[in-house]
Structure 1
Amino acid sequence: MDKKLHNFFASGLLEKYVLDEISASESLQVEQFIAKYPEVEQEYIKLQENLEIIAKAQAVEAPVSILDNILEDIDDKTQTPVVKLNTSSRKFSWFSIAASIATLLFAGGFYMKNEQNKALKRENQVVVDEIFDLRDDIDKNNQKLDNLMRQFMKLNNPETEKYVFRGNDRAKDLKTVAYINPIEETSMIDVVSLPQLPEDQTYQLWAEMQDRMVNLGILDASQRKLQSVPYVKDALALSITIGPKERLNTTSADSAIAQIDLNNKRNN
């Protein structure tokens, strides 16, 4: 590889560009490399695909009731109480009328001021509660972003190998991708599609050793996201089986519906 290209890849600018954590001058430099070198363009496309995989796995829909709650809260706060006064035909002296008006104005002002203070206290409490909720959301989002970054870096590690499970005649629609890094000893599974099974059966992931099979856990069809699985050193192959739920730790030779060979790829 060209030394200039090697230094560019080692700088990490391409990863920062994909994640939009880069300055304007660095962004221009990256775009020039993408336009000039096909190797950089291919790696850029790969990074975008990996980021899309993780983004879909972490996507969370906002609750539908949020807008209704906000509109209802606004309606409640904009209602103004109306005080109805009964008119009287009795004649009062100007002094009595003035005194009555002053008293009513004072009482009305006091009442309105009191109501405004109560409303202000309620609004302040709402603001305080919302601030705490926002802080909690920010912490959760920061944690998700941190997990996203970790998974993104694992996927784009040069030592990470990609393996695609494809189902046999018993599960033609099955498709699952495994990402394995033998240097860092990490394994991740991306469940793309798993055909629906009867209630009494389940999918299991196995690692094939020289003398035995090691159970790596259940694959849930509803968990369509990138997830970590145990790494098994010196495993020859990984296989997905269908078996009864009451016998999770047992398997047979004919129960495998998809398999990837790890030994051949490591020897190449």
Structure 2
Amino acid sequence: MNDKINTFLNSDLLEKYLLGDTTPSETEKVETHLSEYPEVQNAYNTLQKNLEIVSKSQAVDAPKHILNNILNELDNTPVINIKPIRKYRKWYHLSIAASFAALIFAGSSFVFFTQNQNLKTENQKIVDEIYDLRNDISLNNNKLNDIMQQFKQLNNPETEKYIITGNNRAKNLKTVAYINPKDKTSMIDVVSLPQLPEDQQYQIWAQVQDKMVSLGILSETDRELKQIPYTENALGLSITIENKGGNQIGSKENSVAEIALQKHN
């Protein structure tokens, strides 16, 4: 790999291009490198895969009911048609017309008042829906920020990837750990966990010298990339089967998966 390619890959242009954050000139430069250099294309494919891992782990269903509720409320608001008051030419009909007009006016006033109260209620509902929608947008923005942070961690050159598979007691178990000893961060992606009886659960540990330090519980329904505590000088990772509620002391006898970690000076 020549210096030109190394310089390009060490820049952040590929990440910016994948996130749609490049200028026109930067876009042209990235696409030129993608078409000319297989090394750049391979790096771009890896970035896409990592982004997909992070995005799938943080997927959130959009709040579909909010807009539908607002449209339904607007569609259901009745339209009032007021019939025009008939004019009588004969003078002896004036008193009847005046009385009839008074009744129409009183009735219309009551209808308008009722409709006004209903509209106030409906408007308040719409305001509440919009407020909830804004809260959902804020939560989704925070979730997106978390995704971007995890994406950066995955693509950090200092981040080490460890695939942890189960032994004969849990053949279908598979998790992937991402550890960055420089930034002191750890994440784990639960790919598959065999189902356990209701009174048992999986627990992940860090092996530190002659003891095991608990890093938390792994749930069968917890299929997402998540942070776990970083353990200084950890020699390996182990997943055990424990009784419900977890255990304070780890035992290799309960281990169903383990892997050694690289040593760092």
The alignment's TM-score, normalised by the length of structure 1, stands at: 0.84
C-alpha displacement at 1:50, in angstroms?
A: 1.0
C-alpha displacement at 1:6, in angstroms?
A: 3.1
C-alpha displacement at 1:71, in angstroms?
A: 6.5
What secondary structure is seen at the aligned counterpart in 1 of 2:252?
coil
What amino acid is aligned across from residue 140 of structure 1 in structure 2?
Answer: L
Structure 2 equivalent of residue 118 of structure 1: 117
Tell me how far apart the structure 1 counterparts of residues 4 and 107 of structure 2 sit (CA, whole Å): 79
Structure 1 equivalent of residue 86 of structure 2: none
C-alpha displacement at 1:234, in angstroms?
A: 1.6
What amino acid is aligned across from residue 162 of structure 1 in structure 2?
Answer: K
Distance 1:64 1:75, change over 3 A: same
What secondary structure is seen at the aligned counterpart in 1 of 2:262?
helix
Tell me how far apart the structure 2 counterparts of residues 239 and 22 of structure 1 sit (CA, whole Å): 42
Structure 2 equivalent of residue 40 of structure 1: 40
Structure 2 equivalent of residue 232 of structure 1: 231
C-alpha displacement at 1:67, in angstroms?
A: 7.3
Tell me how far apart the structure 2 counterparts of residues 40 and 243 of structure 1 sit (CA, whole Å): 45
What secondary structure is seen at the aligned counterpart in 1 of 2:153?
helix
List per-residue Cα deviations over 1:34-91 (Å, max 9, x = no partner): 11111211111111111111111111224676577456534542x45799xxxxxxxx
Distance 1:71 1:142, change over 3 A: closer
Q: Is 1:135 aligned with 2:134? A: yes
Structure 2 equivalent of residue 13 of structure 1: 13
Structure 2 equivalent of residue 241 of structure 1: 240
Give the length in aligned residue pairs. 259
Query: Equivalent residues in 2 for 1:241-260 (5 A)?
Result: 241-245=240-244, 248-260=247-259
Tell me how far apart the structure 2 counterparts of residues 113 and 198 of structure 1 sit (CA, whole Å): 64
C-alpha displacement at 1:208, in angstroms?
A: 1.5
List per-residue Cα deviations over 1:178-208 (Å, max 9, x = no partner): 0011111111000010001112221111111
Structure 1 equivalent of residue 3 of structure 2: 3
Tell me how far apart the structure 2 counterparts of residues 61 and 207 of structure 1 sit (CA, whole Å): 34
C-alpha displacement at 1:229, in angstroms?
A: 0.9
What amino acid is aligned across from residue 260 of structure 1 in structure 2?
Answer: I
Moved >4 Å (runs of 4+): 62-72, 80-83
What secondary structure is seen at the aligned counterpart in 2 of 1:223?
coil
C-alpha displacement at 1:101, in angstroms?
A: 4.0
Which stretches in structure 1 are left out of the alignment for 5+ residues?
84-91
Percentage of pairs with the same residue? 54
Q: Is 1:213 aligned with 2:212? A: yes
Tell me how far apart the structure 1 counterparts of residues 9 and 103 of structure 2 sit (CA, whole Å): 79
Tell me how far apart the structure 2 counterparts of residues 126 and 66 of structure 1 sit (CA, whole Å): 11
List per-residue Cα deviations over 1:81-110 (Å, max 9, x = no partner): 799xxxxxxxx9321233134324433443
What secondary structure is seen at the aligned counterpart in 2 of 1:254?
helix
What secondary structure is seen at the aligned counterpart in 2 of 1:132?
helix
The alignment's TM-score, normalised by the length of structure 2, stands at: 0.85
Moved more, 14-23 or 245-254: 245-254
What amino acid is aligned across from residue 73 of structure 1 in structure 2?
Answer: E
Distance 1:120 1:22, change over 3 A: farther
Which stretches in structure 2 are left out of the alignment for 5+ residues?
83-90
Distance 1:112 1:166, change over 3 A: same
List per-residue Cα deviations over 1:200-235 (Å, max 9, x = no partner): 221111111222222222111111111111111221
